[in-house]
């Protein structure tokens, strides 16, 4: 991975060009096929990674509606096109939402994948309801920390997991209990209605045994080859959702949702950021334009 000059991006129909102020990334995205190929599976290297961004619209493509030049926006860059780790990027307008003036660009860049993943996992796929119990693995991580808060806000009882050093964070975010996966016995949790896990087949299999009848195990790690005995398992890939982004931004503004930001890097430090991005909790961020 190197820092290099590239031609300015072109705004296709229904696109906007965004001057990127901050970008979020997922360290594992270098393993995703879409990082290296287009929608037809053709090689598109060299490619620009990164799928989360916050910035300002500088240009509108033909037919674009709903956004204006000079508007602050945040959202998801396309999976199979050049991404957000650049000074400018082209994004489908429907994948972006207005960023309120009182929400920092770093927060805007940290929210799209983690926030939408948590929301869609819990409510669209997990069908979580008030009064139910949800087990959230990685409760202090980028996705898990948001999922804990959303589930708590919805009236569910939250059990978080992680390493011992993450206990206080998870409890502070709203978890009613915490399981240290290195020292506590996961099976002591008892039955739950929904499980959300983002990594590890082994932890997924152990968690499947905790899902009560009619419950759901939800994952973004990989399609599971196992099912809860009396429930179901769901694998999904997060989908862009302008309305969902707007709801998440509103929760941030009203103080109902805290976005945990991990390490911060400059654009020049991006190669190093990918190698260290898995360390600690929160979303790693690249600050592209600090203005």
Each of the 291 residues of the chain gets a pLDDT tens digit; together they read 888 899 999 999 999 999 999 999 887 888 888 888 888 889 888 989 999 999 999 999 998 989 999 999 999 998 888 999 999 999 999 999 999 999 999 999 999 999 999 999 999 999 999 999 999 999 999 999 999 999 999 999 999 999 999 999 999 999 999 999 999 999 999 999 999 998 878 899 999 999 999 999 999 988 988 899 999 999 999 999 999 999 999 999 999 999 999 889 999 998 888 876 555 567 889 999 865
Closest CA to 170 of 260, 68, 276: 260
Residue 121: Cβ-neighbour burial (10 angstroms; 0-12, 13-18, 19+)? buried
Paired residues of 261 in beta bridges: 283
Radius of gyration, CA atoms only, the chain: 19
The C-alpha atoms of residue 265 and residue 287 are separated, in whole angstroms, by 6
Whole-prediction pTM: 0.93
Which are the contacts of 159, defined by CB distance < 8 A and separation ≥ 6?
133, 134, 135, 136, 175, 176, 177, 178, 179, 189, 192
What integer pLDDT is reported at residue 291 of this predicted model?
Answer: 56
Hey, what's the torsion of the CAs at 270, 273, 274, 277, to 10 degrees? Answer: -150
The C-alpha atoms of residue 266 and residue 57 are separated, in whole angstroms, by 21
The C-alpha atoms of residue 92 and residue 40 are separated, in whole angstroms, by 18
Which own/partner contact pairs does 175-181 have at CB distance under 8 Å and 24+ positions apart?
Answer: 175/136, 175/139, 175/148, 178/139, 181/137
């Amino acid at each position: 991975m190197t820092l290099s000059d590239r031609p300015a991006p072109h705004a296709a129909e229904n696109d906007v060009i965004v001057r990127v102020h901050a970008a979020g990334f997922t360290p594992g995205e270098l393993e995703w096929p879409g990082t290296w190929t287009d929608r037809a599976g053709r090689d598109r290297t060299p490619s620009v990674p990164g799928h989360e961004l916050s910035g300002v619209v500088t240009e509108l493509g033909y037919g674009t509606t709903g956004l204006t030049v000079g508007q602050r926006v945040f959202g998801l860059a396309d999976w199979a096109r050049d991404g957000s780790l650049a000074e400018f990027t082209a994004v489908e307008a429907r994948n972006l939402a207005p960023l309120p003036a009182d929400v920092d660009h770093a927060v805007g860049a940290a929210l799209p994948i983690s926030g939408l993943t948590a929301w869609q996992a819990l409510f669209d796929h997990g069908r979580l309801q008030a009064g139910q119990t949800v087990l959230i693995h990685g409760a202090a991580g980028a996705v898990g920390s948001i999922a804990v808060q959303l589930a708590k806000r919805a009236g569910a009882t939250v059990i978080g997991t992680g390493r011992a050093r993450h206990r206080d964070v998870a409890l502070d975010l709203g978890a009613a209990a915490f399981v240290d996966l290195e020292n506590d016995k996961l099976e002591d949790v008892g039955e739950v209605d929904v499980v959300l896990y983002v990594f590890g087949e082994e932890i997924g299999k152990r968690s499947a045994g905790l899902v009560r009848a009619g419950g759901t195990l939800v994952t973004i790690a990989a399609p599971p080859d196992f099912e809860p005995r009396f429930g179901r398992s769901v694998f999904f890939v997060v989908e862009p959702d302008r309305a969902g982004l707007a709801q998440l931004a509103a929760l941030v503004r009203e103080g109902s949702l805290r976005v945990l930001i991990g390490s911060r890097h400059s654009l020049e430090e991006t190669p190093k950021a990918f190698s260290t991005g898995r360390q600690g909790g929160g979303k790693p961020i690249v600050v592209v334009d600090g203005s």
